[in-house]
Amino acid sequence: MRLFRTLLFLGSGLFLACSSAQKADRERAMLHLQIGTGFLAKGQYPSAMAELVVAEQLDPENPLILNNLGLAYYVRGKLDLSEQKLRKAIRVDAKFSEAKNNLGRVLIELGRTPEALKVLHSVEGDLTYQYPEKTLSNLGMAYFSQGNYKKAEEYLARSLEIRRQSCTTASFYGRTLLEMKRLAQSAEALDQAVEFCRTEHFEDPLYFSAMSYFALGQQEKSRARLEELIKEYPKSKYVAKAKGMLELLQQ
C-alpha cells in the first residue's frame, strides 16, 4: 500500500512537471509569435519565418501561429507549405475565418479557383469576422480570375466601400473595369490605385493605367505611366511590354 502511494505521488509530480513545462513552452511560443508577427508586418520575412518556426515547434497546435506561419510561407512564394499550415490551423479551429480567408487567397494563387470560392463563401457568411473587406476582395479576385467580371466588380466595389485605400483591391477593381471596356472609369480607378500602391511598391496599376489611357487614345498619359513604370520598377515583369508599348507610341 505504501509503495502504491509512493508511485501515485511520483506520478502526480511527473504530471505537474509536464504541465508546467507545457505551459512554459506555450508562453515562449507566444513571445516568438509576437516577435515573428512584428517582423512579418515590417516586411522582414526571413526573420519572421525564423521566429514563427520556433513558435510552432513550441506550440504546434496553436491555430494563430499556424495561420501566421502560413502567411509567412505565402509571402516567400512557398504556396504549398502555406496551404499546409493554413489547413492545419482550420483543422485545429474550424471557425477560424481569418485562416480560411488566407487559404482562399492561396488557392487563387494556385489556380484552384473553385476551391477558393467555396472556402471564401463560407467566410462570407460569418457575421462575426472583423475584416469582411478582405473576404470580399478575395472573392472579387477569384471571380476576376474566372473571367466573371460582373461578379468581380460587385465584390471588389463592396470591399472598397469598407476600405477605400486598399492597394490590391483598387488595382483589381480598375483592371475589372478595363476588361469590361469601361475605359474612362478604369483609368480613374487605376490612377487612384497607383497612389494607394506607392508605399507597397506594387507596380500593376501603373501598367494597366497606361493600357487604359492607350485604349482611350490619350497617348501622353499612357507614355507617362509607362516611363514611370520603367524608371521605378526596372526589374518588373511588365518592363518588356512597357518598352514595346513605348516604341509603338513613338511611331
CATH code where residue 220 lies? 1.25.40.10
Tens digit of pLDDT for each residue in 60-111? 999 999 999 999 999 999 999 999 999 999 999 999 999 999 999 999 999 9
188 found inside a domain: yes
Q: Is residue 50 part of a domain?
A: no
Query: Residue 137 carries which side chain, given as an amino acid letter?
Result: S
pLDDT at position 2 is 46
Q: Tell me, what's the pLDDT at 23?
A: 80
- Does 104 map to a domain? no
**Is 214 contained in some domain?**
yes
Q: For 46-54, which contacts have Cβ atoms below 8 Å and span 24 or more sequence positions?
A: 48/72, 49/73, 49/76, 54/29
Domain range for 229 is: 165-251
> Which range has the worst mean pLDDT, 11-20, 30-39, 117-126, 181-190?
11-20
User: What one-letter code names the amino acid at 179?
Assistant: E
Using an 8 Å Cβ cutoff, are 173 and 153 in contact? yes
CB 64 within 8 A of CB 48: no
Residue with the three cell numbers 508605399? 199
**28 part of a folded domain:** no
Residue 209 CA to residue 175 CA, distance in Å, equals 9
Mean pLDDT of 5-13: 48
Is the predicted pLDDT of residue 30 greater than 80, yes or no? Answer: yes
Is residue 119 domain-resident? no
Q: Tally the domains of the chain.
A: 1
Using CB atoms within 10 Å of the CB of residue 20, give its burial: 0 to 12 exposed, 13 to 18 middle, 19+ buried. Answer: exposed
Scored b (16 or more CB within 10 A) or e, 204-221 reads bbbbbbbbbbbeeebeeb
Grid cell digits, residue 120: 471564401
pTM recorded for the entire structure: 0.87
What pLDDT, in 10s, does the model give residues 103-150? Answer: 999 999 999 999 999 999 999 989 999 999 999 999 999 999 999 999
Record the cell numbers describing residue 162, joined without a space.
469598407
Give the integer Cα–Cα distance in Å for 219 and 224: 9
- Does 199 reside within a domain? yes
CB 100 within 8 A of CB 90: yes
Evaluate whether 172 touches 152 at the Cβ level (below 8 Å): yes
- pLDDT band for 10, please (50, 70, 90 cuts): very low
What pLDDT was estimated at residue 38?
A: 93
Q: Is the pLDDT of residue 239 over 70?
A: yes
Residues 190 and 174 sit within 8 Å (Cβ to Cβ): yes
Whether 117 maps to a domain, the answer reads no
